Amino acid sequence: MLEGTHYKRVKSKVGDDTLEINGVWIHSQFDPKKEATRFVAELPHDGTERIYLLFGAGIGYIIPYLLERSKVTIIWMEPFSFLIQEALSKFDFSEAFLSGKIVLVTGDNLEDQLSNAVKGKGTHPISFVPHRGSWQWKESEYLKLKLIAEQMFHKKDVNLATLTRFEKIWAKNICYNLPELSKFRPISDLFGIAKGIKVLIACAGPSLSESIPEILRYRNQFLLLAVDTAVPILTSFGVDPDLIYSVDPQALNSQYLEDYSGEGILIFDPTSTYISLRLEMGPNKGFVTSSPFPLLQLLEKTAAGEIGSVPFGGSVSTNAASLGTLMGAEKVYLVGQDLSFTKGLAHSKGAVLEERLNYLESRKFRREKHNYKQLFALPQKQVLGIQNETYITNEKMLIFKKWFEDHTKENPWTNLTKFGAKLEGMEHSSFQKEFLNENTSNQKQIQSVMHVKKLIQSKLNENSSFFERSLLIADIQNTITSLIEFLILVRQGLTVSQRIYQQIQKNQINPKTFSEDIKRMDLIDEEVSQKKGLNEILSLGIQRVILTITEGYDEHMSLEEKENAQLGVAKKSLLLYEGLYESIRSTKRMLTKSLYRLQSNL
């Protein structure tokens, strides 16, 4: 219990228990049950699945009335353990807890707990239910719960949208990147390599161009790790990065590197666009990171050791900052990390998107119009700036802002960005404070940086190959063969699931044939489920289908299929086999192309 908190359990006018905390009545002094029934009556309920998310519940009077409703899940968020104890001493909710009808969210890692609580309930409407008495007592604490919930649901929506948008692009990039990545070194080679030196992460926010003079002035005192979007900006001012981080799967991102002719070494995520590794100019050697997608196992199985993974926060700048820490840097600095539309700009001056507009401008389309569209592509939000000014941002950038703020305690990060959003909890400084004047004797630091650069180059030039290309060729050949065999089984499943679905939809069920189809479907399902390795490889290309089945993702389900439970189950089975069938065909085709390129370059 909080220090200075005094509470007592007393009887209301009608004889029911109520609670007084520091002079605030948590429930009615007169009739707590009547108060609870009136409040519950105002909450929406139409007999369909619904989640009530409680931000406090006092000693729990509203919960029994909510439990009387069918098809509801109660998620009870409570920051104070003594209130939970008081509620459980009055009401026995053990059966509801065991059945999952009530889920208690309290203590640490609230966002993760909440995410697990709503798993599999992606389409259930959610009612936010703030408990009036609790909020009157400690509004700030319960408001924090509400903000955590809003952030989690927004992040979940963004993640689902990202997953379903990029599923096929990610699969394609991993397959097509295999030949080139088999020549790369693992990112684990760089872990701990930068001890004793400073690393500067150059991001592509609008203020980056204004920090160029300082980057040039102190260039030899740090290792420069640039996100790929910042490379054209840096090079246009004569700054050549030491490392270049590429993560984005979209083909457009290759254009940030297509004219690059410097000495920068590539840090490459396997899902990043394969076009970047096939440019006539541009960095074509470097280090590859691991990936959570099972398709990458084809490469990992041929490795001489661990590839190494870098924490992913949804943006290339989050990856780059995490890598700086993993490299063991004494300090990691961020520059150009505005996370806002600084001075009304969507991109730093000199960015590729801006330069492309030179070719697109016409009387009806000006670069100002493009910048305006970027500013309003997502709903605008306000954010506090570094110097306590107000900037315009959007929800996507706020997710990245929160990621940095959540991770800054465990990481030696300092923000050198001149303008833009303030990162709470992260030190803000300037180049002048963090680096020695160029006229000052600083040979030791300069030599240390040069030593690390040479060490990185030596890792890249190691004679022994980290990945065994002949073994990769054999694994891809075996996988293609297995996919061809699997396609026969999945085609059978697709045919049977179509038959079952059509009988239910048309309400023309023949008991004998329907029963035979169900038995056949069960056997096929069992055989398919045993192909665990292949299913994992194929899963990346069918995330929409997986989310339909596991999270209730609505995109593929009609109103009729949602209302008719039997038809809905049949539709999910049909979607699964349609998805597997298409994923097998596309994966086989992509791997065949990569196999040809591997064999041609032996």
What pLDDT, in 10s, does the model give residues 508-544?
A: 888 888 999 999 999 999 999 898 888 888 877 776 6
User: Which residues of the chain does CATH 3.90.190 include?
Assistant: 7-137
Residue 78: per-residue pLDDT = 95
Residue 4: per-residue pLDDT = 63
Residue 370: per-residue pLDDT = 40
Q: What is the mean pLDDT of residues 23-36?
A: 92
pLDDT at 212 over 50: yes
Residue 556: per-residue pLDDT = 64
Could you tell me the two tokens for 115?
């995410």
pLDDT at 118 over 50: yes
**DSSP type of residue 556:** G
Percent of the chain clearing pLDDT 70 (strictly above): 88
- Spell out the long-range contacts of 286-291 with Cβ–Cβ below 8 A and sequence spacing 24 or more: 286/184, 286/185, 286/244, 286/460, 287/184, 287/185, 287/186, 287/187, 287/189, 287/190, 287/460, 288/181, 288/184, 288/185, 288/186, 288/187, 289/187, 289/319, 290/187, 291/174
pLDDT at 95 over 90: yes
Tracing tokens 């697109």 back to the chain, one arrives at 360
pLDDT at 405 over 50: yes
Residue bearing the bigger pLDDT, 196 or 549: 196
For residue 126, the cross-strand partners are 51
Residue 360: per-residue pLDDT = 46
pLDDT at 374 over 90: no
Residue 440: per-residue pLDDT = 54
171, 587 Cβ separation under 8 angstroms: yes
Least confident of 174-188, 215-229, 364-378: 364-378
Summarised one tens digit per residue, pLDDT across range 435-447 is 987 555 578 888 9
Q: What is the mean pLDDT of residues 329-358?
A: 73
Q: What is the mean pLDDT of residues 269-274?
A: 94
543, 470 Cβ separation under 8 angstroms: no
pLDDT at 314 over 90: no
Residue bearing the bigger pLDDT, 18 or 165: 18
181, 174 Cβ separation under 8 angstroms: no
Q: What is the mean pLDDT of residues 88-95?
A: 93
Confidence of residue 565 (pLDDT cuts 50, 70, 90): confident
pLDDT at 369 over 50: no
Angle at 162 between CA 209 and CA 151, to 5 degrees: 80
Least confident of 107-116, 326-335, 342-351, 436-445: 342-351
Residue 244: per-residue pLDDT = 97
Confidence of residue 356 (pLDDT cuts 50, 70, 90): very low
Q: For 388-407, give the DSSP string.
A: S-EEEEEHHHHHHHHHHHHH
Query: 67 vs 53, 60, 113, 258, 318, CA distance in Å?
Result: 13, 11, 21, 61, 43
Which segment, 301-305, 364-368, 561-565, is predicted with the most confidence on average?
301-305
Summarised one tens digit per residue, pLDDT across range 218-263 is 999 999 999 999 999 999 999 999 999 999 999 988 999 988 999 9
For residue 265, the cross-strand partners are 243
Percent of the chain clearing pLDDT 90 (strictly above): 58
Residue 353: per-residue pLDDT = 47
Residue 373: per-residue pLDDT = 46
Residue 27: per-residue pLDDT = 93
Residue 358: per-residue pLDDT = 44
Q: What is the mean pLDDT of residues 346-373?
A: 47
Residue 2: per-residue pLDDT = 59
Residue bearing the bigger pLDDT, 416 or 370: 416
Give all strands of the β-sheet with 7-11 in edge-to-edge order.
Answer: 7-11, 17-21, 24-25
Residue 202: per-residue pLDDT = 97
Confidence of residue 349 (pLDDT cuts 50, 70, 90): low
Average pLDDT, the chain: 86
**DSSP type of residue 69:** S
Residue 332: Cβ-neighbour burial (10 angstroms; 0-12, 13-18, 19+): buried
Residue bearing the bigger pLDDT, 376 or 116: 116
pLDDT at 58 over 90: yes
Least confident of 331-335, 437-441, 483-487: 437-441
Least confident of 56-60, 172-176, 193-197, 550-554: 550-554
Q: At the topology level of CATH, where does 7-137 sit?
A: Protein-Tyrosine Phosphatase; Chain A (3.90.190)
Rg (CA), the chain: 29
Confidence of residue 359 (pLDDT cuts 50, 70, 90): very low
